[in-house]
Each structure stands twice: as C-alpha cells, then as structure tokens.
Structure 1
C-alpha cells in the first residue's frame, strides 16, 4: 500500500516562479494537502539576494541547471549558455529582476489562439494586480496613468510581488534616453500599461535594495502551514500514468529521486507541472508523452504521441552593441580597482544603493524596427558597462552596451531529450535567426542603435562603435554579425503551448489542462502560444495566478 505520508491532494513539480505562487494559493485551504517539489537547494546563498549576485548564480551549479544550446546555424555555429534557475524561486532567483508584463496585444493574441476570452488583456490584468505590490501606491497615492485611467486601475498594492524603482542612475544612460527621444521614441514612466512603447528606467522586483524572488514572496507567507510540504533536492524522473478505463490516461503522481533514493508520490486531485519551458517538456518526454519519433529514438515506449511537446520554442535573442565613450565614467573604470569595488560594497552595506543593487540592465526602450510595424517590436536593455560576453571581465576602456532584441521572433525551436536518463540535459535548439524576417529585424536593429547614438544628446561622449563595427553596412553583413555577437536574454517559452482543440500542436487547453491526460495541468512559460513582448518572469506569475483559479474552480 502506498505510504499515506506520500499522498497529497496536489503535487506541484518545480518550485520556481510559478510553482511558489501555486503552492501558496492551493495551500490556503487548510483541508488541502499540497506538496511542492524542487530539484535544487534552498535559496540560502547570499548571492541570490544581493541584486548583482546574478553574476555568481548564473553558471553556478548550485543555482543553475547549466544548460547549453546546440550549435546554432543562425549564430554561425555558436552554442550559447542557457541558464535556468535550480533553487527555490527558480529563475526569479537568478534573473534580471525587471518587472515587465508585455503588451495588451500579446494576451489578446493568446485569446484568439485558444478561443478563450479569459486570456484577453482585460481579463489577465486582474491576475497581474492580484499579487502586485507597487511602490507608487505606497501611502495611498494614486497618480494619473494613461488617458482617463488612474494608476490603481492598472496596478495593484498589498500583494506579494514587490515592484520598486531602481536605486541608482547614470548620466550616460540619461543621455541615451534623451537621444532616443531625439530619434522619435517617446518618454515613459510606466512600461506596464498594456502599451510599453517609450524609453525610461525599468522597475524592478526588489525590496529595499534586496532581490525579491518568488520564494520570499509566496513561500515565506505560507511557512508554517501544516498542509504545505516543500521538498528540495528532489528531482522528478517521470510522471506516474495509468490507464483510466476507456477514457485514456490519468496522471496519478510522480517518481523522483530524493536524497539518493527512489520515492513515489500520489496526487488525489491533480499534478501541476511548473518546471519551465525546458524542464516540463523534458519530464513529459521521459514519461512517454511527446513526439513518438523522439521517444522511440531514445528507447522510450510512447504512452501517447503528442507532437507539440518540446516544439514551438521561442526566445528573445539580444544583439549586444558596444560603444566606446569619452568624458564620463562607466562601470568599466569604477570596477577596475580594488578600492572601487570596496566602495561598492560599503555603499551597499550602508544604504543598499550603488552598483551592487543593480539589475543587469537599467534603462529600457520599446520601439519599432521600421515604420511599417504596427506595434513596438524591439526592446533595448542599456547598460553603463561592456564586456565580450556574459561572465567575461569588463573591458578596460569606458563604454556602454546597448542590447536590442526582436520581441516577436518568427523563428521556432525545439527541446528534446537526448537519452532516457533523467540526469542528461536535453537538447535545446532555439533556431535563432532562421527566418528572413528575423534576419531583417536584426539588421534594422543595428541601424537603429547607430541612429540613436548619432543624436546630439550623445555627442558630448564622442561615441565610437566598437562592436559590431561601423565597417559593416549591408543587411547581409549586419545579419551575419548579429549571429556573431547576439546572445539569449533567457526567455524560453512556448514548448507546451495552449491552443484550440483543432490545433494539432496544442499541448494544453485554455484552462491549462493536458490534452489526453486527466489529472495533469501545466502552469509555466511553456504554455504561452506566443512569447510576450518583453521580459517573461511576471507573465509567468500571471499564468500561475490564472492556473490557481482554474484548479480551485474545477475542484
């Protein structure tokens, strides 16, 4: 007989951004037993909580799954590091902390793709607000927002997900913002109204200068609930699937490795997969669910041929342009000496400000790659520093980086297991720059950066293009150079997408229930039919908020 201690009403797999929120919401009912399973360790590393600590969390097996992409033809044969959070809080413990919802049109597109108005912007906005705690509403203030709307019409206060203003600014970034305005980009003080066009400083998920991850936000308030169990260092190896009469398959639990031993858990009501756009399709395929040819090639007998699992991978590829500047100090010089670094530490210790409180990108902009676009399709991440690649040393000369990405790539990739062993990393092939439109947008992006850097507001810094270099001018040259210098912003989505019943590639329905498998739901960035027009962490929280409401309604 199954040990009663391992029987729960809900088993949530993955204690990342979505899983932490779901565990909180589902365990509110004291009569409901919830198990949250995380393969990584507790979020006790100090580098998780100091904002600049992402530099020490990404590429660290203590907090990162340490994935890499396959060699990418669109990147001229390069393979990219592909960080995924492996700790309580998941990617919210190692990401850039930028609070970004995307555009209203993203969610209206989801509603069209699923045939369900639940996913329209007007219907997801309450889910964003439900957990938001925005600093501009502290003290009861309610400033005007866009049009006739008050700030509180668009933002929430008192929720678990803290949103704050950044605690530093840079003269050279202020000048870049002015140059963007001169180039035709409007100013904005809020990227999260449903229309994120404009230039301004990003709001961040921090509290008083500390990173605010999903573990702090949603697990801390639930700590002590006797009906919530959290297991760390427990890796799910496969789902338990049983034949449900003539109705098909039912997911009844999961098999996992915990403390070196095999453990099985049972779910009376539902299993909810929240392992992310890479981890979730990997677990499904290891369980015999996915494209039959992929499973058979890896020695796994298909329990159900579901061709969409691991397909439709979308990601934001950023092109990192670097400009040398004069007449100002950038982080390159400030961090070059032991004294400078010591001053950073002292300032952070005393005031929680300065470079140690920095998110990876401070200034943002959303605009169009050309006038034919009906909506902003480019996002800028601008930084007062430069380096050859993430994890490499800063350059010795003063410089800034203006990274620009295509928000709505048409390239689609795949995630596939490479063996039947759960410990083997999956094959991740984003297929970056594999379409003509993506290559065109890449070339247009580089030209637009040049146009902004050539505006009068930047003239006092005498900017000189160092990467990719002004000698490259044609679309073909610029697209090839983009392949040489571009890198991911770590936004994988879409690999278990939701869609209409007649969509053969849809993996879940509009209520996030797995097609053809009862008792199984997916709630992570993988369910996005199309990637959002901006950073994906907070949209993932919204998905989890909606999933919690669906689960409780269906119960």
Structure 2
C-alpha cells in the first residue's frame, strides 16, 4: 500500500498517525522534533489535570521560540509544546467547538463548502462523547464566582458551552479523573503497539525532498533522509510553514494569515478561605461567553484559580478577558541568519480597530464582573500588574493603553499560516483536503490550514480537522489518487463527513 511520514505528533499529528495506522497495509512513520516525556518528572507534571502544573514544566517548551504580540512589541517567549503530544500536552485541556458562524464563514468567504457548520458538526458531536464537564461540586471559588456573577448581571449561568449561546457555564475538557486526555493519550499511545507504526522522537525535519514537483520524503536536521509515498505535515501553525518555506514552496500565502486570540489578565488577591489551589485538579472549569457591539459570542471571560507569575502583593487567581473573533493577522517567516532554527513570529494582534474595540469591551466586562457581590465575597484586591497597580487605573484611557501594550498575551491558539482555499486564491496554500497546491505527495493536516481562528480553544477543532482530513487521505489512498498531481484529480470526492 503506502509508506506515509507524519511530521509532528501534536494535537493533529497523533490523530493522523492513529487513523492511518488502523489500516495494516499502510506503513506509518511519525517524526516528532521533541522528546517523549513519558516516565520523566516533566511527564508527571504534564499528566496533571491542573494546567498550572503543565505551564511549570519548562522543559516541555522551546526556550528559543520567541514572538512579538503587538506591532510595536519586543519579542517574548512563545509557548508551544515540544515533544510527543505537542501543544496538546501543555494546554489547559478546554474543549470547545467554536460557533457555527465560524465555519459557515469559512464556507462563504473562502469557498470551503466542505467545512461549513453542517459539514463539521457531526464530527464535533461524535468527539463530545469523550469529553468531561466538571460538576458544580468540583468548581473552584473562582468558577463559582464567575457563574454567580453572570446570574447577578441577568445572564444565563448554566449554558451548555458546547452550544453558541451567551452566558456562564461549565467548560468541557479533554481530561478525566486520571488527568490529561489529549490526542497523545486518546489516539497515539493506544496505537503504538501496532507493527505498522513507528514513532521517532528527537527527529526534527528540515525540509521536504522534492523531485519534479513531487515530494518523495523528508530531510532531517541531522542530515539523514527518509523516503515515503506520502508526507503529512502536522508540525503546527509555526513549524509547518517554516518547513514549506525551506522546501521552496512558492505559494505567497505560506506563513501569512497568522491569527490568535488576544487576552489580557487581571490579578486577584483572594480572601482567606478562598485561596487554595487543589493539586492535580483543574484550575479552570467555567467560562462566560459574551457578545460585543460588533458580533455575537466574540468575548470570553475565564477564571483561573492559581498564579502563573510572581507579583507584589501576591495574587491567588486571575480573570482573563479574550477577543475570540479576530480580524488582525500576522506572519511566520524564516530567520535569515538561522533558516533551520526557530522561525520569526510576528503576531500583530490588535492591529485592526475592530479588535481593539472588542478588547476594550472585554476588559470592561471583566472589571464589571469584579464589582458583583459574587466576586466581592472572595476578592480582597484586584490589580493589573506585578507591582500591584489597582484595577481602577484602567479607567484612564492612557493608562489602559500603556497597560495593554505591556501585558497583552495570546491564548496559544495559532492558526492560518497555510490556509485552505482554491488554487487561484493567492492566499491559499492547500485545498480542502489538505493537498498543497503545486506539490504532489504532501498534505498539511493541522491548525495552519484554518483560514480564521474559531471562537474556541483550538485543540478540539484541530482534532475535528484531523479526523476528517485523515479520512479523506485514506479515501484517496484507496482510490489510487493520493499522489497524483493535484490538477488531475480535482474531481475526487469531497472531504467525507464522519
């Protein structure tokens, strides 16, 4: 049958490898640039259901990967998971599908009729069976305060967050009582005893091997090469375009269109009796979804029980305000001094007036929440930086702008750097099945193909996409058209519904 190389063992790559290797006739080789953390102290931290433990596992991140968040920003560390599981091994385990309008916009604006809400919803419905929702009895003080504050403000406080409705409610998670249940645990680990699946760690890909417009394998950074009938790039929104650029892919959209959710945090010193961080239990279990004056459902307010940084006075919790429908775009490009090293990431968040206006609304909602009785009962002091500047300072527009410029972060939900679209769309890199325009024998299956970031944490959308594109690849392999030049098989069946 086919020898297939899957580059990257993250949220999407683990799904691809597991699905392809279900068919004994295919030989699947997974190349992961980072290590296997299983059986190490880092692995123990990553297994915890508490995201704070994962963020403390510094060895699971690439310390040399930097990014600028705003157009005038200085580079800061960019947190992407490194090792088996990828960013799915270090995320907050929150599972949301996004809004129906996200996917309908993909279809309407970008011509991606196979990715409308009606096309993707059955897969999301199937994936929901494996998700967990924390019962109210498992809420932290911050979770309780958030949903109670929503009720105080006249908003629903018990919405199913898998639906598109505004209000507060319990988050679905890809975790269980034993801890993290991302793509590594759910897909790749159960498949690793298959004879036709080989997983190689510490194997970073430099570029694709290309002969006469056909990809025949990959060249690793150690100088070795591997040949295959099909290569699947699942290296993620940052590394996938870097590999394509190093491979001579001449699509002008490669590396462009980068999007993420901008977020701003307010630090909270909690009153005694409400400060506990429960070991190995989720620190985020609820969300408040709100609509701005621009669009529906485009703001998230998240509560986190615990601290990721040091401040004076000490804080015990964080309220995060995020813009979930984004119009600003950035790019990923190669470092001319180190083309095989970490790429240059310029997110350019909040460059559009729309995004800036919604960010201001989101922060305003977070401040108003803190003035409810639910939060006053547990919060002793609210401040906006490590020096304890009171949240009241945000009432001054100039102070707000200074604060935002120095503190805005991303949600680690990068998409869009090798987006889907038609061959005559200059911004498109792949078609609806993930096939790279102008290059046979290679597909991209990861968040880089999403044309816009959905209003959701991107792990679950990545799994949905990987399920559907893996099914499409298997169908093409079965029909014998998987490695034909793209123009010769435009009539292949559309991405199947699962």
Normalising by structure 1, report the TM-score: 0.79
| Distance of aligned partners of 1:67 and 1:537 in 2 relative to their CA distance in 1, 3 Å threshold | farther
Aligned counterparts, 1:393-404, within 5 A: 393=310, 397=314, 399-404=316-321
> Would you say the 8 A contact 1:311–1:494 is kept in 2?
yes
Q: 2:133 and 2:66 mapped to 1: Cα distance?
A: 33
Q: Partner residue of 1:82?
A: 78
Q: Partner residue of 2:6?
A: 12
Aligned counterparts, 1:113-262, within 5 A: 113-130=109-126, 132=127, 155-156=128-129, 161-165=130-134, 168-193=138-163, 195-243=164-212, 249-257=213-221, 261-262=222-223
> Would you say the 8 A contact 1:115–1:500 is kept in 2?
yes
Q: Partner residue of 1:137?
A: none
Which of 17-26 and 484-493 deviates more?
Answer: 484-493
Q: 2:15 and 2:133 mapped to 1: Cα distance?
A: 20
Q: 1:509 and 1:383 mapped to 2: Cα distance?
A: 39
Structure 1 SS opposite 2:345: strand
| Distance of aligned partners of 1:454 and 1:426 in 2 relative to their CA distance in 1, 3 Å threshold | same
Structure 1 SS opposite 2:451: coil
Cα deviation for residue 508 of structure 1 reads: 0.8
Aligned counterparts, 1:497-516, within 5 A: 497-516=419-438
Cα deviation for residue 104 of structure 1 reads: 1.0
Structure 1 SS opposite 2:300: strand
Aligned counterparts, 1:262-273, within 5 A: 262-268=223-229, 270-273=230-233
Structure 1 SS opposite 2:263: strand
Cα deviation for residue 175 of structure 1 reads: 2.5
| Distance of aligned partners of 1:519 and 1:490 in 2 relative to their CA distance in 1, 3 Å threshold | same
- Which of these residues, 373, 386, 394, is aligned with residue 294 of structure 2? 373
Flag as ranges the 4+ runs of structure 1 deviating above 6 A.
Answer: none
Paired residues, what number? 467
Cα deviation for residue 68 of structure 1 reads: 4.2
Structure 1 residues 135-185: Cα deviation after superposition (integer angstroms, max 9, x where no partner): xxxxxxxxxxxxxxxxxxxx43xxxx5535368322343123211222243
Q: Partner residue of 2:50?
A: 52
Q: Which runs of 5+ in 1 are unaligned?
A: 1-6, 133-154, 244-248, 290-304, 335-353
Q: Which runs of 5+ in 2 are unaligned?
A: 385-389, 478-498
Instruction: Select the structure of larger CA radius of gyration.
Output: 1
Cα deviation for residue 482 of structure 1 reads: 1.8
Q: 2:78 and 2:376 mapped to 1: Cα distance?
A: 37
Q: 1:501 and 1:200 mapped to 2: Cα distance?
A: 42
RMSD value, Cα:
2.4
> Would you say the 8 A contact 2:263–2:321 is kept in 1?
yes
Q: 2:69 and 2:374 mapped to 1: Cα distance?
A: 38
Cα deviation for residue 375 of structure 1 reads: 0.9
Structure 2 SS opposite 1:321: strand
> Would you say the 8 A contact 1:9–1:33 is kept in 2?
yes
Normalising by structure 2, report the TM-score: 0.87
Structure 1 residues 302-353: Cα deviation after superposition (integer angstroms, max 9, x where no partner): xxx211000000011110012444464224xx6xxxxxxxxxxxxxxxxxxx
Structure 2 SS opposite 1:403: strand
Structure 1 residues 192-220: Cα deviation after superposition (integer angstroms, max 9, x where no partner): 13x15221232221122311121221122
